[in-house]
Amino acid sequence: MGIEVKNIKKRFGKHEVLRGINLEFVPGKIYGLLGRNGAGKSTLLNIIAARIFPTAGTVTLDGKTVCDDDSALEQIYLMSERNLYPEGERLKKLLKTTELLYGSFDYTYANKLAAEFSLDLNQKFGKLSTGYRSIFKLIVALCVPARYVFLDEPDLGLDANHRELFYRELMENYAQTHRTFIVSTHLIGEFANLLERVFIIKNGQILVAGEVEDVLAKAYLIAGPKEDVCKYSAGLNVIGHESLGNIYGNYVFGGVDDERHLPDTVSLEHLDLQKLFINLTNEKGEK
């Protein structure tokens, strides 16, 4: 059940953007799909939504190949970070087009959201600021009847108030519909509490997959005098380090051996998701 992505590869010319992606989205969860700029997230989302074809691999929904099956495709909505709407078209008209494509559309809900976000639906898409383009696309995504909703950088250009309103509306929609949401965002710190499961993509491959809670349980900062920290970290999976004056810190992923004796000079604390992400995905040379 759900969406299964099997061994997806995608090559643009000589550049292999996706190098064998396997993952699964089960019904009724909120996922984070995290990766750096250029990691291949948008390409993967476009393949799942059958907007582009993979070089190899399959995407199925409840066992049916998505790109061959209209009833499967109707269950998937992708809010793209790119602006695909015609600039001269009024927002109301664009909602009608969405209804035609997806068979139905919740206009009552759309009007409620537009009022909350102070968006006038009589405007033309091309007149909207970056923030309001995101808001319009979010409203569409929340109101289509699809069971799997993918949001690619939904927060681009939103001010802090609109982001808070969006998080609240997303959670309310989720609580009522039990649909599956998959969010790709760079604002990991703000989103972390909303996500149940997370996939981290690096260089076209899945680096980390799991429940957010389990992933964070394995992520630590070991801090103290450099010599003591390095001694304590020996044999652990050190993914980064930092120093502030005389304090040295090693970031570790994969858990620490509970048998180790923690010296009094060294402290051990858990990382938040954004800090873990940064350290896991930094390129060589970045600290």
Q: Which residues bind a copy of itself (CB under 8 A)?
A: 36-38, 81, 116, 118, 129-132, 153, 156-165, 186-190, 274, 277-278, 281-283, 285-286
Q: Select 68 or 164, whichever has its Cβ closest to a copy of itself.
A: 164
Sheet holding 267-270, edge to edge: 238-244, 247-253, 219-224, 267-270
Query: Which amino acid, 84?
Result: L
CA-to-CA separations, 52 to 10, 244, 273, in angstroms, rounded: 10, 46, 30
Q: Select 59 or 155, whichever has its Cβ closest to a copy of itself.
A: 155
Contact 60, 4 (CB under 8 A): yes
Q: CA angle, corner 164, sides to 161 and 166, nearest 5? A: 110
Q: Select 156 or 262, whichever has its Cβ closest to a copy of itself.
A: 156
What distance in Å separates the CA atoms of residue 5 and residue 247, rounded to the nearest whole number? 44
Residue 285: CB minimum distance to a copy of itself, A: 8
Residue 223: CB minimum distance to a copy of itself, A: 17
List of residues 6+ apart from 227 with CB closer than 8 A: none
Q: Select 71 or 129, whichever has its Cβ closest to a copy of itself.
A: 129
